[in-house]
Amino acid sequence: MTSGRRNGARQDGTCQGGTHDATRRDFLRVAGAWAALAAIPDVVGARGRIPSAAPIAGGPWSARRPVPTAAQLQWQRDELALFAHFTVNTFTDREWGDGSESPALFDPVRLDARAWTRVAKRAGFRSIVLTAKHHDGFCLWPSRVTSHSVAASPWRGGGGDVVREVADACRADGLGLGLYLSPWDRHEPSYGSGRAYMDVYCAQLEELLAQYGPVCEVWFDGANGEGANGKRQAYDWPRIHAIVRQLQPQAVMFSDAGPDVRWIGNEKGVAGETCWSTIDPVSVPYAGYDAPNVGELLQRVDPHGSVWRPGETDVSIRPGWFWHAQEDAQVRSVDNLMELYFTSVGRNSKLLLNVPPTRDGVFHPTDVARLEAFGARRAQMLTRDFAREALVTGAGSNAAAAVDGAPDTFWSAPAGATRATLDLALPAPARCNVVRLQEPIALGQGVERFEVRGEGVNGWALLATGSTIGYCRLARIAPRVIRRLRVIVESTLDVPRLAAVSLHLDEA
């Protein structure tokens, strides 16, 4: 999506043998530096949603640190969302349509949104983010402000509505609905005219947010290309954000610049080894902001940032974002999906995994098999926790809460501590290869250096070291039998606190 990146498309939007070699950053560079000038900065975040801050009890920390809103907290705890890229591109074999595609192309004869949601649910995903409109401008719902939509297609005799079907299926299966509405529209004639296009875009946003029930996430891509007439569009982000806040106040908004959740800075599925949920909003002021190293900055952002804006890791299960027959043999393996889980959720981010429907409107059987195997492998790893009910000792309060399996309870070191140690004696020696740590992020994020040591048959060994923890830190360790564990918070910006310490075995 966003600030000059995106490795999913060639500059001409075609897909060649599964190799997508032009990034969006490349595209923006070619297009020139105008994007920064054209966009309207929104440096203060969303209207009325400046995150609150938690008072710090005692200690040398005089500042109040940012904390998540209820919506941001829920968004992060969901861990996994499915992305569904679907539009005329699915039928033209392109990644970026140019807006000239005929709606007659769109005819997903076996479309079954309930099949999407059932698979997503079985694999442990909690929501689906659908491309209601991609850059080509084709609307998957019958928009009243354009004729370039499903209403002009042969699908369901022109009476169909993909957004409605996906919304209903999500509701039936208890999943959240997220919607992607590309600001960049290569079909709409008013694109590049300023206010007139904003009126069209905002009308579309209002349709999507008023007609389909609760929406949990609104996804704003940062791509902002030149219109056919050579004009560039300025986006009125404050106006856009206000519509979301008014119509779906519980939804989080995603973009390079949030305001609620931020892009993680690449489309490879990799959050920073160091990954903070706090940012200085001025450092990435608007969606599509391009600057040297902005991708690296978004990966890690800023321990001293004044705003809570956790990172979302969007990545595709295939080389492209849209379905291409020639990529059917390039679907990520289960090992690879597990790796993505470790480098996203396991680095204090959320994984938004794209699974593109085929021309029939279903997920390809290979993708379905991989998703299900990914779900089974994660469940197998996480369900068995060898540290559960361990005997825990540590200064401060509630040490046993670190192993009680409840995300809302936590161990807290004494106020004023800058370093703290938690010792676990396991109920029985156990063979493990994964350590999982969590901070109680409802109170913010503080740990900036930790290490984990374990005692096995050959004595004590250093198992893992790291910087941030945040919502979740997953560390792979060499497989070994462990009977005691020591977690040392070496440095922190807040009272040392841990909501969970667990030990697992990931068996390939």
Enclosing H/E stretch for 241: helix 237-247
Write the CB contacts of 381 (distance below 8 Å, at least 6 apart in sequence).
434, 504, 505, 506, 507
Contact 434, 505 (CB under 8 A): yes
Nearer Cβ to ligand FUL (233/492)? 233
What's the min distance (Å) between Cβ of 131 and ligand FUL? 7
Q: What angle do CA 416, 422, 425 make, to 5 degrees?
A: 160
Contact 68, 51 (CB under 8 A): yes
What's the min distance (Å) between Cβ of 81 and ligand FUL? 12
Amino acid occupying residue 148 = H
The structure tokens 């030149």 sit at 226
What's the min distance (Å) between Cβ of 97 and ligand FUL? 10
229/234 Cα distance (integer angstroms): 15
What's the min distance (Å) between Cβ of 279 and ligand FUL? 20
Residues near ligand FUL (CB under 6 A) are 1-2, 6, 8-9, 24, 95-96, 221, 223, 314, 321
Nearer Cβ to ligand FUL (1/67)? 1
What's the min distance (Å) between Cβ of 7 and ligand FUL? 9
Half-sphere exposure of residue 82: CA atoms within 13 angstroms, side-chain side = 31
Nearer Cβ to ligand FUL (4/66)? 4
Contact 96, 136 (CB under 8 A): yes
Contact 180, 130 (CB under 8 A): yes
Nearer Cβ to ligand FUL (130/422)? 130
Nearer Cβ to ligand FUL (23/433)? 23
According to DSSP, the residues that pair with 437 across neighbouring strands are 473, 501
Nearer Cβ to ligand FUL (177/392)? 177
194/230 Cα distance (integer angstroms): 13
Contact 203, 240 (CB under 8 A): no
Nearer Cβ to ligand FUL (3/248)? 3
What's the min distance (Å) between Cβ of 142 and ligand FUL? 22
What's the min distance (Å) between Cβ of 484 and ligand FUL? 45
